[in-house]
Amino acid sequence: MENPYRVNIRIPLMDTDERFFKIQELIDIKRKMLLDKQKKIKLISKQNNFLDAIKNDYMKYYTFIHQQKQHQIRALELLNNYIKDLTVSGKLSKHNIEDAKIEQKKILKELKSIKKGLDSIIDDTNEISNNDVLL
């Protein structure tokens, strides 16, 4: 007596072998593709870590330079105010007043140069930060 729930499928042996080889070939292709993708991801993650380290170094450098420029600006402004006070107080001779004004012009020129450099650093950093957002 045959089991009524048993399905008797007869596939020629040749067809079964051929399907098996095609499936095996597809599995091998997929495995290679996954390995290649894994290698790419690993490489990209290494590059990202490297770029993150460079970005962090740049931000530390930027912060340091920005602070230094701010200190220079404050020092030159103090010096400028001191010279201004000396010239207004009347404690300097006419010759010393003229020397003070010349020094004051040099200080103001240096202040302008430092502020321009600081603005350039800030603008460049903002541009880089904005490009990071776009990427």
Residue 3 maps to a domain:
no
6 belongs to a structural domain? no
Instruction: Give CA separation, 118 vs 2, 21, 62, 66, 97, in Å.
Output: 92, 68, 10, 7, 31
Are 97 and 85 contacting, i.e. CB atoms less than 8 angstroms apart? no
pLDDT (tens digit per residue) in 3-35: 655 555 555 555 667 777 888 888 888 888 888
- Report if residue 99 sits inside a domain: yes
In the predicted model, what is the mean pLDDT of residues 50-74?
84
In terms of residue numbers, what domain contains 80? Answer: 13-134
Question: How high is the pLDDT of residue 134?
Answer: 45
Has residue 1 been placed in a domain? Answer: no
Asked if residue 30 is part of any domain, the answer here is yes
Residue 5 resides in a domain:
no
Query: Does a structural domain hold residue 65?
Result: yes
Domain tally for the chain? 1
The confidence score (pLDDT) of residue 93 equals 80
Mean residue pLDDT across the chain: 78
**Higher pLDDT pick, 3 / 126:** 126
Would you say the pTM of this structure is higher than 0.85?
Answer: no
